[in-house]
Amino acid sequence: MLETRVREVVGSVFGVAPDELPERLDPDTVPGWTSLRQIQLMMALESAFGIEIDPNLLPALASGPAIVQYLEETLAVPDGTGR
C-alpha cells in the first residue's frame, strides 16, 4: 500500500502514470530523474504524507525502496518528523 502511494507520487512528479513507471524506481531507470526532480519529489512526498524530510537525507533517498523504508520508519514515529 505504501509502495503504491509512493509510485503515485513519483508518477505525478515525473508526469507518468504509476503503472507506466519501471519496476525499479531510481535515477537510472526513471527518465528525467535529475537533482531538481529529486527535490521536487521530496517536496511532493512531504505534502502527500504530511512529513518533513531533512534535506541532508536527499542523496540517500534516491530510489523507490529507500523512500519506502524511510517513510515506514518516519510514519512510525509519533510526531511524524522522523527525528
Question: Is the entire prediction scored with pTM above 0.75?
Answer: yes
Mean pLDDT computed over 1-25: 96
3-state helix, strand, coil in the chain (%, to 5): 60, 0, 40
Q: What is the pLDDT of residue 35?
A: 93
When computed from its CA atoms, the radius of gyration of the chain, rounded to whole angstroms, is: 12
pLDDT digits (tens, 9 = 90+) for 24-70: 999 999 999 999 999 999 999 999 999 999 999 999 999 999 999 99
Beta carbons within 10 angstroms of residue 3's beta carbon: 14
Owner of C-alpha cell 531510481: 26
Confidence of residue 81 (pLDDT cuts 50, 70, 90): low
Q: What is the pLDDT of residue 83?
A: 47
